[in-house]
Amino acid sequence: MAKKSQEMQIIIKRYKDESGKASVDMHDVAKYAVSMGWPLPKPKTAIERLAEQFSVAAREEIRRDPVTGKPYRGNLAVTTWQGNQQTTLWHDIDDAPRHIAHRSFQQRREQMVGDAVQLTFDVMHWNRINEGQEPIVMEMDFNDDVNWRLNAPDDNEKAA
């Protein structure tokens, strides 16, 4: 798969070079690639598309804790492997056993850590190649941000 991604990255660079654009819309890149003979992917089946829509709906379900009034996600996703196929299983948070909830929370945390690490690498690179400019600093301690948002007025609360 890395080979295909690398080939696609080459096409993106070629499109930028030929078009003279620094910022590109990937729809334009895709049209360019198809014009060069790049094969179109196999279309998703109706069931695949519907399953994606149900996953979006499950991810978007927000409920309110009846005691605290705070919002929480109604469904937990756990990515797992069934044979050599990766799949996501959904669980109602109010019915999920501890091991499912813990695994879901741990996977979400790992995504956050991965994003933070990559953001740090990106900022470090930008700062290195732009030494003449004020460096960009990204704070990675989110405790204050989380506490501030936990204590911010809720959108649904009425001002006193």
> Along the 160 residues of the chain, how does pLDDT read in single tens digits?
579 999 999 999 999 999 999 999 999 999 999 999 999 999 999 999 999 999 999 999 999 999 999 999 999 999 999 899 999 999 999 999 999 999 999 999 999 999 999 999 999 999 999 999 999 999 999 999 999 999 888 766 544 4
**pLDDT of 160:** 43
131: tokens are: 């030494």
pTM over 0.85: no
Cα 124-128-129 angle, rounded to 5 deg: 125
Quick one: 34 exposed, middle or buried, by C-beta within 10 A (0-12, 13-18, 19+)? exposed
**pLDDT of 157:** 55
Q: How far apart are CA 143 and CA 147, in angstroms?
A: 6
**pLDDT of 8:** 96
Tracing tokens 């690490």 back to the chain, one arrives at 117
Question: Which stretches of the chain are DSSP H helices?
Answer: 2-19, 26-35, 46-60, 98-129, 143-151
Q: Count CA atoms closer than 13 A to 159's CA, side-chain side.
A: 0
Q: How far apart are CA 150 and CA 26, in angstroms?
A: 37
